[in-house]
Structure 1
Amino acid sequence: MERTFVMIKPDAVQRKLIGEIVQRIERKGLKLVAAKLMTVPQSLAETHYAEHKERPFYNSLISFITSAPVFAMVLEGEDAVNISRHIIGATNPSEASLGTIRGDLGLTVGRNVVHGSDSVESAEREIALWFDESEISSYTLPEDVWVYE
């Protein structure tokens, strides 16, 4: 099973969308194996978004992600990275398909509701940044037999 990192951003937390977003993820068949509501420390935000440091939006991104709580999650399932990216939708909500989280709930790139790892390598790096291995659960659900062959 593959793992991925998904974060419900401050805009979605403030809009009380955690339950709806988690429900969409779970309904698809991905399993929630770790989660926490937290205010992101500056240092974690800077490390997480280090690849964007030279971009003009970096400072506003750091300010935004540290402005209010986020809901950080580790999801597990076959092809979890790609499946979660399809559920999330395009980065720009105006280009995201209806039925995706961003397509239904987001309006602008700067307030696009959710972050999701874009590769297995990114997922591994991001999970290690946000969670200790002891915070990640391993368990079997009875419906797993109905999700996977």
Structure 2
Amino acid sequence: MTTAVEETLVLVKPDGVARNLTGEILRRIEAKGYALVDIRMVQADRELLAKHYAEHEGKPFYEPLVGFMESGPLVAIRLAGDRVIEGFRSLAGATDPTTALPGTIRGDLARDWGLTVQQNLVHGSDSPESAARELALWFG
């Protein structure tokens, strides 16, 4: 049985960049055997973030999330590998750092004392369709 190589978008969020965790996050990604296809540091503006998070517009967490994501630089990564979408999401751990298992990026590295759940270090596309849309937004 063969698996198709997928691509996904990974974002190291502003908290990960501010805490100098980008290198450790990249180390974990590469240790899993995924290929870094493209990487760039970005100061995301509201227009880009509104497109990225369009499905969440109107939800209670939308404004805090967009505000957090535009609060500082982030690192956008085009990542490739077998089942990379599912694999990276497993590597990242649960969205809420308080429930993320040890051995995951969020379980080991995310801070969970009184911070909003948006400050969870990384984003990874959740499906092939989302990955295609998000990669087009961030990498053109």
TM-score of the aligned structures, taking structure 1 as reference length = 0.86
Unaligned runs of 5+ in 2: none
1:16 counterpart = 2:20: yes
Candidates 115, 123, 128, aligned match of 1:115: 123
1:87-125 per-residue CA deviation (whole Å, 9 max, x = no partner) reads 101101111110100111113412100000011111111
1:118-141 per-residue CA deviation (whole Å, 9 max, x = no partner) reads 111111110011002xxxxxxxxx
**1:63 is matched by which residue type in structure 2?**
G
Aligned to 1:141: none
Aligned to 2:137: 129
Structure number, greater radius of gyration: 1
| CA distance in structure 2 between the partners assigned to 1:120 and 1:104 by the alignment | 27
Aligned to 2:60: 56
Matched residue of 1:45: which SS?
A: helix
Candidates 72, 77, 97, aligned match of 1:73: 77
Give the CA deviation at 1:82: 0.6
| CA distance in structure 2 between the partners assigned to 1:41 and 1:63 by the alignment | 10
RMSD, aligned α-carbons = 0.8
TM-score of the aligned structures, taking structure 2 as reference length = 0.92
1:98 counterpart = 2:102: yes
1:86 counterpart = 2:90: yes
Q: How many residues align?
A: 132
Unaligned runs of 5+ in 1: 133-149
